[in-house]
Amino acid sequence: MIGDVIDADLVAMDYRARLSALLEHRIGLWDVVAEARRTGSLDSRIRDHTSNDLIALIDTLPNLATIAFNGGTAARIGTRALGEHGNRYRLLRLPSSSPAYAAVSYAQKLAQWREITRI
């Protein structure tokens, strides 16, 4: 999904090249969940999770303007973790990029995901 947003074939790149491509487009990735119990791959099955320290992360990013969440579960966990700090940023709840989330077509998801490139 993110590769289509920035028009880059991230899958074909090695890890370092992927990171470079994302950074060129001023995009960082961070998982809101540090660890959890989950049966299967659905986010709705996440149990007993520990959040990553988003406050510590954003405090190191003075130019951060937008925080986008990949799906509803990430948005709920991330927004809760940010608390009032979230008011300083444009927060985007994007449709899950997971193929398991088929309620929205890929084209519709992509259109919404492209919002991350707009300032």
Mean pLDDT by 10 residues, the chain (119 residues): 94 96 92 78 71 91 94 91 94 88 86 89
Query: How many domains does one find in the chain?
Result: 1
Give the pLDDT score at 42: 65
Q: How far apart are CA 16 and CA 19, in angstroms?
A: 5
pLDDT of 50 reads 79
83 dihedral zone (left: phi>0; alpha: psi -120 to 50; beta): left
Q: Which amino acid belongs to residue 103?
A: A
Phi, psi dihedrals of residue 38, rounded to the nearest 5°: -155, 130
CATH number of 55's domain = 3.40.470.10
Place of tokens 């925080």: 67
User: Residue 22: what pLDDT?
Assistant: 95
| Strand, coil or helix: 7 | coil
Q: What are phi and psi of 50, to 5 degrees?
A: -115, 125
H or E stretch covering 90: strand 90-94
Rounded to two decimals, what is the model's pTM? 0.83
Residue 48 is part of which domain span? 2-117
What pLDDT is stored for residue 12 in this prediction?
97
